[in-house]
Structure formats: C-alpha cells, structure tokens
Structure 1
Amino acid sequence: MARMDHDRLCAEIVTQTELLVSTVKDADMTVPVPSCPGWNVGQLLRHLGGGQRWAADTVRTRAAEPLPDDHFRDLSPYADEDAAVLAPWLAEGAVRLAGALREAGPEAELWTPVPGRTVSFYARRFAHETLIHRADATLALGQEFTVGRDVAVDALDEWMELGSLPMMLDIKPELRELLGPGRTVHLHATDTSAEWLVDLTGDVIEWRRAHEKAAAAVRGTLTELLLLVYGRRSPAGLEVFGDGELLDFWLERVAFR
C-alpha cells in the first residue's frame, strides 16, 4: 500500500475526529484511560483537541520555533468535562487544522520536531495521533476499535519511520540497549499482505517492509499490530515465534505515548 497523500491525511484528521466524537457521545468523561495513565476520557480529548489547535497555529503562522504547548500538557483543569461541550469543540479543532494544512500545502517550510521542516509532517503526525487517541478512548469505554487497512498501514509505517530516526537514540538513550548481533523483529499482518522487519543489528535502528526470517516474530491483524507497537495492547493472544523475550524487550523500549 502506498503512503497516503496530503489531501487524504487532511481528510483523515477530520474523519478520525468525527469517529471519536461519535464514540464519546453521551459517555462518562471521567472514565480512566488505561493506555494513558493519569488521564480520564475528558482529559484525553482536551489533550488531543489542544494538540490539534497547537498544530493549526504552528502551520498557519509558519512558526520558526515551537509554540507554547502547556495548555494541552497540563490536564489537571479538565478532570470533570462534559461530552456535550467537548464534542463540538473537538470537531471544530479538527476542521481548523485540516483547513490550515490544506491552505499551506505539504511543502511549505516551518519548524518541525524532526528533520524535514515541511507541513507534510503535521498532516501525517496528527492524522495518526488522532487515530491512536481514538483507540485510547474507544478501548477505555469498552467499545470495539476498528480502522481501515490503508490507514493502519500508513500509521505503522510512520511509527517505524519516527522510531528509527537516528536522533531518537539521543532523545531516548535506552534505545541503544536494543542494538546487538542477531536482533531482528518481524511483524506479519494476517488480514493483508503487509509485513515489517525491524533490524537492530547495526549502529542504528532500521526497518523495511519485508517477509524475512527474524529472531522474534509476531502475527496478528493490522489493528492488533498497530495497537501492539503503540503499547495499547500486549502480545498475549497473538502468535509469537522465536525469541519472545526480545519481542517484549523491544516493545518496552519503543513505547510511544
């Protein structure tokens, strides 16, 4: 499957937000979110909506440096939210972000937290940030989480790309502990042809779409694999082959919240 283009990613921000809004309609906003310890559903939505607005302002102003983000990091003021208030606020923020991204175009230059410095980063990052936080809320509320195959593949690709950036070894020095001879991890989606190989045998983390033997392998649906690498589920219940301890060690070190 090809990488999703800019217009599709912009649309996906709105689509995933609309699905999230539908999920939380009439829900108790004080329900804890196990995958985001310390947050309840209302706080999760404030974090996501605040992040979307922050990204919209970053894109709209072509910010040359990071804008203040305390408003969606400190969630203590949002412990007792009202779904009837949050839902339209969240939906409006997604539309605002998608509009800013479309108006700017994917190649416009601005500050980004990783190399690249183009608007395309924010379109892809927030499409999948919204997707994963939709998963957080959906699972916390005891509902079934589903996602289209092309979206899940692109989200997994983006996760691989971000996690293998050399700068991540400096940001998270513990990732260096993963590197060593013979250390490879294979992810195999059972409901499509998508497969990934994570190569930890060199000086940096590398990955590729490939069907190759590995020291550790895990098989599951695309949705299960997506939730697995994002730390939203454990390998329990999935097919694991080879070095299960390596798989667990890798998942613990690469946790992405």
Structure 2
Amino acid sequence: MRTVSYIDYLQREGELLAAAADKAGELTPVPTCPGWTTGDLVRHTSTFHRWAARIVAERLPGPVPEDPMPDEPTGAGLLPWFRDGHGHLVRTLRTAGPETDCWAFMPAASPLTFWARRQAHETAVHRVDAESARGGELTPLDPDFAADGIDELLTGFHARPKSRVRAQRPRILRVRPSDAAAAWTVRLSPDAPPRTERSADGQADCELAGRAQDLYLMLWNRLPLTAATITGDAALAALWRETSQIT
C-alpha cells in the first residue's frame, strides 16, 4: 500500500473517531477497552498522534519514549484538542519527504511509510472502540486496508521478542480472509515469538477464515472468536485470544 493511501486512511479514521466520540459522550464506558471511558480513549489516541508527529517532524533518532497521557483536556475542549493533534499529524506526514529519516520500531520501506501505516491502523482500531461506545453499526473497513492491518500485526508486532504468544509445542495457525488476496501461516513455538509467512502453503492445526475486517478486529481482540470461521483446533484460536494483547 502506498504511503499516501495510509495517510488518507489516517485522516478518515480520525474524523470518524471524533464523530463517534462526540455522539458517545466523554464519560461513556468503552466496551472494547474495559475500564476506559470515551474521554480516556480520545486522550490516549491523541497523545500517540502527537508523539508520532513529533518524531517525524523533528527527525528524532530512537528509541523515543512514549509521551505521557495528559490529565487534561476534558469537557468542551477535548474534541477540539483531539482534532488539532490529528490534523497536525496528517499535515506532518503529508509534507514530510520520502527521504525523512527518523526512528521507527518495526521494519518498513521507509520511516515515513512506517509512521503513516502505524498511525492509520492505531487510529482505525480506536475508531472502532469509539463506535463501540457510541453503539450502532460499525463503519466498514476497506478489505485491503484491513488485510494490511492483519499483516502489520502478524509480521510486525508479533515478530518481536516481546510478543507473549507461545505454544507448549509447535503449532500452526492460518489466517485467510475471504475478500482480500492474502493469507498468513503463523508458526508458534514454546520459546520464540511467532514466525509468520505470507502464504497458505501446507497444513495448519487451526484456520481462521472470514471477512478481512472481521479477522482484523478479532485478532486485535475487538471482536469475539465467533467473528471468524474456525476450522481445526479451536484451542489454538483461544490461545491467541488469551496471549496476544499488544501493550
């Protein structure tokens, strides 16, 4: 996916998040983020928008500690503050050149591509959180964008040593969206992070199939396991659910 497309998705998802949060109200609990209110969600997301914008704009080498979540703002100032930070991030990414050199914490074609992709998916997942607080139907995700988010999660986040997904013996999990030209084979072991191949070759102990949007949100623990069609050992899908949280 092109960098400019990620930035377009980031802009869209941030606008949808703000609209959902406005309708939900600041003090409404977020079902997909137990213990959080919509206000907590908005402050968290905007704090990460500002952190990413600072890294790109100032060409910071890394690692760069995450910015602390602010106690303020609240009330009438919250959503204008969010929109200001979101807009600043979008403008920063649009005006940064492809040669921009700054810290990125996962492999990518360039640091700019990394931050555009990461913030697009960060914002999309939290937009779903805001819509879960608002109630009603979720705004659909483009299947190719959702498949890209699955790829980032499996080949990026869970390739890192800090991934907690482990199996007592070698196991193979397959993820296969029905509406995108992609599939992943995830090899789990007792003592190493998962190893993911972008293919559907060979046998799998468990396969998760369904729309890319549903698989994306299920793998990010925003939808239940029943959002996918599970073939094979359902305990392996449950293991993912129990151990895959990204912090």
**Is TM (by shorter chain) over 0.5?**
yes
**CA positional deviation for 1:179:** 6.7
Write the distance in 2 (CA, Å) between the matches of 1:242 and 1:6: 37
1:89 maps to what in 2?
Answer: 81
1:61 maps to what in 2?
Answer: 58
Conservation of the 8 A alpha-carbon contact between 1:128 and 1:155: yes
Write the distance in 2 (CA, Å) between the matches of 1:204 and 1:51: 26
Write the distance in 2 (CA, Å) between the matches of 1:68 and 1:256: 17
Distance change >3 Å, CA 246–CA 27, structure 1 → 2: closer
Aligned residue among 39, 43, 50 for 1:42: 39
Conservation of the 8 A alpha-carbon contact between 1:65 and 1:111: yes
Aligned residue among 122, 125, 140 for 1:129: 122
Query: Does residue 139 in structure 1 map to residue 163 in structure 2?
Result: no
TM (normalized to structure 2)? 0.87
**CA positional deviation for 1:244:** 0.8
Distance change >3 Å, CA 238–CA 154, structure 1 → 2: closer
1:6 maps to what in 2?
Answer: 3
**1:152-190: CA deviations, max 9, x gaps?**
11111111122343xx22x34x43x33733x11112223
**CA positional deviation for 1:26:** 3.4
Distance change >3 Å, CA 6–CA 241, structure 1 → 2: same
1:19 maps to what in 2?
Answer: 16
Distance change >3 Å, CA 68–CA 211, structure 1 → 2: closer
Instruction: State the secondary structure of the residue aligned to 1:25.
Output: helix
Aligned residue among 232, 236, 257 for 2:226: 236
1:148 maps to what in 2?
Answer: 142
**1:123-153: CA deviations, max 9, x gaps?**
1110100000001111122222221112111
1:250 maps to what in 2?
Answer: 240
Query: Does residue 103 in structure 1 map to residue 95 in structure 2?
Result: yes
Write the distance in 2 (CA, Å) between the matches of 1:245 and 1:85: 46
Write the distance in 2 (CA, Å) between the matches of 1:154 and 1:205: 18
2:25 maps to what in 1?
Answer: 28
Write the distance in 1 (CA, Å) between the matches of 2:151 and 2:125: 14
Conservation of the 8 A alpha-carbon contact between 1:16 and 1:127: yes
202-211 or 11-20: bigger deviation? 202-211
Write the distance in 1 (CA, Å) between the matches of 2:7 and 2:130: 21
Conservation of the 8 A alpha-carbon contact between 1:184 and 1:197: yes
1:112 maps to what in 2?
Answer: 104
Q: Which structure 1 residue ranges, 5 or more long, are not aligned? A: none
2:194 maps to what in 1?
Answer: 205
Conservation of the 8 A alpha-carbon contact between 1:163 and 1:254: no
Conservation of the 8 A alpha-carbon contact between 1:231 and 1:256: no
Conservation of the 8 A alpha-carbon contact between 1:179 and 1:205: no
Distance change >3 Å, CA 119–CA 42, structure 1 → 2: same
Q: How many pairs does the alignment contain? A: 243
Write the distance in 1 (CA, Å) between the matches of 2:169 and 2:32: 29
Conservation of the 8 A alpha-carbon contact between 1:196 and 1:209: yes
Counterpart residue type for residue 149 of structure 2 = A
Conservation of the 8 A alpha-carbon contact between 2:49 and 2:86: yes
Conservation of the 8 A alpha-carbon contact between 1:107 and 1:120: no
Distance change >3 Å, CA 153–CA 106, structure 1 → 2: farther
Identity fraction in percent: 32
Conservation of the 8 A alpha-carbon contact between 2:64 and 2:103: no
**CA positional deviation for 1:38:** 2.2
Conservation of the 8 A alpha-carbon contact between 1:6 and 1:106: no
